[in-house]
């Protein structure tokens, strides 16, 4: 493809707009996480990126699209970070331990958008709402399968309730750690795995 000065200018403009779009999505994720989708206005989002609300529509189609983009992108990236771990060839218990760490690591560096994915995607409508429901199921099944294999091959407890154990693992993964300064995310993952692995009783 030829990049003459006009195309180059067009590409630059596209790049600028894509950057702006990214800023807007990041600002929206922060505000949606704090005030909820309906509690954060286009005015609020504009203010956070130094634009008047009308100018936002140069970069995004409407408010719903912002939510779709945040939730969809976050779900896709979380999946990309965790699914390779769970689909690898390894001991199920090792895969689960590492998947927990991968999920928590992703969550700790995407706190706002992860919160939106968890608690605000219910405000999606139509197709996007269906997509995210299906995504959630697929993501659960990914974990479920690893637990299932683990029980069948004796790597995990034989008498384990597989669905319940999967729920508990996902709960540990989705638990909003206050990712504080005193301990890095990896350590949080290790502590949670230690409780889940060995249980509460001696």
Site residues (vs DNA, CB under 7 A): 20, 40-44, 50-55, 57-59, 62-64
**Could you tell me which stretch among 1-9, 59-67, 133-141, 171-179 binds its own copies (CB under 8 A)?**
171-179
Q: What is the phi-psi region of residue 26: left when phi exceeds 0, alpha when psi lies from -120 to 50, beta otherwise?
A: alpha
According to CB under 8 A, which residues from 63 to 92 bind its own copies? none
Does 52 sit near its own copies (CB under 8 A)? no
Contact at 8 Å (CB) between 190 and 197? Answer: no
**Residue 57 partner contact from its own copies, DNA, none using kind-dependent CB cut-offs of 5 to 8 Å:** DNA
CA angle 191-192-193, nearest 5°?
A: 90
Smallest gap from residue 53 Cβ to DNA (A): 6
Q: How far is the CB of 64 from DNA (least distance, A)?
A: 6
58 binds, among DNA, its own copies, none (CB under 5 to 8 A by kind): DNA
126 touching its own copies, by CB under 8 A: no
CB atoms within 10 A of CB 142: 17
Q: Which stretch binds its own copies (CB under 8 A): 11-19, 29-37, 126-134, 135-143?
A: 29-37
Residue (52 or 80) nearer to DNA, CB: 52
d(CA 81, CA 113): 15
Selection from DNA, its own copies, none that 199 binds (CB < 5 to 8 A by kind) is its own copies
Closer residue to its own copies in complex, CB, 90/164: 164
Measured CA angle at 142 (ends 104, 32), to 5 deg: 45
Residues lying near its own copies in the complex (CB under 8 A): 35-39, 93, 96, 119, 123, 150, 154-158, 160-161, 164-165, 167-169, 171-172, 175, 177, 188, 191-192, 194-202
């Amino acid at each position: 493809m030829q990049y003459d000065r006009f195309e180059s200018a067009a590409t630059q403009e596209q790049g600028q707009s894509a950057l702006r779009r990214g800023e807007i999505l990041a600002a929206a994720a922060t505000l949606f996480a704090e005030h909820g989708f309906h509690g954060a206005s286009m005015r609020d989002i504009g203010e956070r990126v130094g634009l008047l609300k009308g100018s936002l529509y140069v970069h995004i189609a409407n408010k719903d699209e912002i939510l779709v983009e945040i939730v969809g992108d976050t779900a896709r990236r979380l999946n990309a970070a965790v699914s390779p771990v769970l689909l690898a060839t390894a001991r199920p218990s090792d895969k689960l331990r590492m998947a927990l760490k991968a999920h928590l690591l992703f969550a700790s560096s995407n706190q706002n958008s992860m919160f939106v994915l968890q608690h605000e995607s219910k405000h999606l409508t139509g197709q996007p709402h269906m997509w995210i429901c299906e995504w959630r199921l697929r993501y659960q099944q990914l974990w479920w399968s690893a637990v299932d294999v683990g029980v069948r091959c004796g790597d995990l407890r034989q008498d384990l309730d597989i669905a319940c154990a999967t729920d508990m693992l996902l709960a540990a993964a989705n638990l909003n750690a206050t990712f504080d300064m005193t301990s890095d995310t990896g350590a949080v993952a290790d502590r949670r795995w230690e409780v889940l692995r060995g249980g509460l009783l001696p």
